[in-house]
Amino acid sequence: MVKVQVKWQGKKYPVDVDTAQPGEVFKMQLYSLTNVSPDRQKILVKGGQLKDDTDMSTIGLKENAVLMMMGTVGELPKAPETQTKFIEDMSENEVAQALAIPAGLVNLGNTCYMNATLQCLKAVPELKQALDKFKSSSSSGGGSQTSVQNKVASSLKALFDQLNESGEGVPPMVFLHMLRQMSPKFGEMDPRGGGYRQQDAEECWNEILTSLDQTLGSSGNDEQSVVEKYMSGTMVTTWKSDDASDESPTVNQEKFRKLDCHIDSSVNYVSQGIHKGLEQVIEKRSETLGRNADFKVVSRIARLPKYLTVAYNRFFWKASESVEAKIVKSVKFPLDLDVSEFCTPELQAKMRPAKQYLRELEDKKALERKMAKRAKLDKDNDEGSANNKNVTEDAEMKSEDAKPFELDAELKADVGCNPSGVYELVGIVTHIGRTANSGHYIGWVRKEKGIGGPEPSGKGIPETQNWWYKFDDDNVSMVTDSDILRLCGGGDWHTAYVTLYRAKNLE
C-alpha cells in the first residue's frame, strides 16, 4: 500500500493505493470520495494519463506523492420519453424500468454472498441514515484496523448512494477491496479453480455489522451505536445443574445480534429451532462437586431490537468428504413472527398491551381484506352488495374495539427496541447448493408500500399483500409472498439462510 494525495478542485484527498490492483480500482476509490465517475476522470501520472488497465506497480508511486486529477461531476442521465405500454406487453428490461426496480450489484467473482448481504442490510434505513452522517476520522494510521474500518463505512456509504442513483448494476469494487483488507478471509483464492473462493454470507453479515458497530457510534461516548441500538438485543442466561442442588444458579447477561435456528430431524418451524438454541444441556465443571456435571442452560431475551436477525444453522462438517455439508431439510418461517415466548417474564408483561393492540389491528385488516375480496367478486350482485355493507359495518365495529393503550414507560424511552415482540419479515439471504464453499446466494427484500415504483398490476398478475425484490446479483426482479414462503428448504432450491425481521409498526 502506498499513501498518496490526490488534488482536485483545490482540495487534497488522501488515498491508500493498492499497487497490486489495476488503475480502475484506484479510479473507483476517487469516485467514492469526489463523485466524479471514472470515465470523467483525468489523472496525470508518470508516463501520461492513468488508464483503467494501468499496472499501478509500474508508475513509480512514492509515499505522500501528490497526483493531479481533472474532471467534473456529471448530471444523472434523464429518462427517455417512451410510449405507454401495458406490463404484459413489456420485456423484462422494460418491466424493470416501468416499476422503478432498484439496481443490483455486479458479481465480481464469487461475491454473491456479499451482494445478497448488502442488499438486505440496505433495507435498514437507520443504517443508511447513520452512514450519511458518518465522517471518517483522519487521526488513525493508514494501515490500522480503525482506519480500515472507517474506509469500509465510507465505501459502503458511497456504494449505497450509487445503488440509489443508478438504473443498472453497480460493481462494488471499492467496498469489496476494503472488506478484504479488513477481513483477509474474504480474499482467499480457490485452489481448485484459481479464482476467489465462495464465502459464507452469514460470516460476511457478522463482519460488516461488527465493523459498523465500532465506526457508526454516536458522538457521545456514553451513547449506543446504531447497530447496538436498532439491531442488538440483551440475553439473560441461567446455568443450573440438578446434580449440584447446593450450587446457586449462575446468571449472565450479554448482548446479541442474532438468534440461531438449530436444525435437526424434529425441527419443522423456525420457532422450534430458536427454542432449541435457547434451551440446551451442556457439560462443564461444577465447583461444588469437584467434577464435570450436566448443566441446563436456559436463555431468555430481556431486550428485543427493532431489527431481529435469525441465522439458520444449515452447515456442518462432514468428515467423510471433508466438506461443510448442508442440511436441506424444510424449516418453515412466517411472514409475521412473534418471539415473546422467548422473552423474560418481566419483558413479556411489559409488551402485553402493545401485542394485544397489534392483534386487534391485524384482525381488523384481515376483515377489511375479506370485505374487499368479496366486494370484488360480487360487485354486480345486489345481494352481494348488501352482504358487503354488513361486512363493512362489522369492520368498522372491529376497528372501534382496538382500544388505545399506554405503552410501558421503559419501552417508550428505549429508542430502537421492539415494544410488542411481534415482527414482520423484510429481508432474506438464501443459498442454493450442497456445501458451504459452493452454490449461490441471493438477497430478497420486501418492497415498502408507497416507496419506489408502482406495484405490478394487470392481466395475469398474481395477488399478494406484499411484493418483494429478488436480488440475483445485478439481475433484479419482483416476486410475491407465496414465492418467499417457498424458500423454506426441502430440496435443491433457494433455501433461507439468514432472515431479517422488523418490529411491526404500532399504527
Provide the annotated active-site residues: 112, 440
Q: Identity (one letter) of the amino acid at 194?
A: G
State the Cα–Cα distance between residues 280 and 489, nearest whole angstrom: 25
Strands 279-286 and 422-432: unpaired
Name the nearest CA neighbour of 480 among 470, 489, 472.
470
**E strand or H helix that includes residue 307:** strand 307-312
Residue 235 bridge partners (DSSP): 254, 301
State the Cα–Cα distance between residues 506 and 374, nearest whole angstrom: 28
Name the nearest CA neighbour of 445 among 423, 474, 473, 471.
471
State the Cα–Cα distance between residues 404 and 164, nearest whole angstrom: 38
Strands 307-312 and 259-261: parallel
Cell readout for 434 is: 450442497
| Contact present, 383 and 421 (Cβ < 8 Å) | no
Q: Is 482 helix (H, G, I), strand (E, B) or coil?
A: helix
Cell readout for 20 is: 497490486
Q: How far is CA 401 from CA 49, 86, 259, 317, in A?
A: 72, 42, 34, 53
Cell readout for 489 is: 428448504
CA angle 92, 95, 96 (to 5 degrees): 90
Q: How far is CA 233 from CA 255, 259, 278, 301, 304, in A?
A: 6, 10, 14, 7, 5
Answer left, alpha or beta for residue 322, where phi above 0 means left and psi between -120 and 50 means alpha: left
State the Cα–Cα distance between residues 468 and 459, nearest whole angstrom: 19
Place of cell 395477488: 463
Place of cell 456445501: 435
Q: How far is CA 376 from CA 373, 394, 501, in A?
A: 5, 18, 32
Catalogue the E-assigned strands of 183-320: 233-240, 250-256, 259-261, 279-286, 291-303, 307-312, 315-318
Rg of the chain over all Cα atoms, to the nearest angstrom = 26
State the Cα–Cα distance between residues 138 and 492, nearest whole angstrom: 48
| Contact present, 180 and 148 (Cβ < 8 Å) | no
State the Cα–Cα distance between residues 199 and 110, nearest whole angstrom: 8
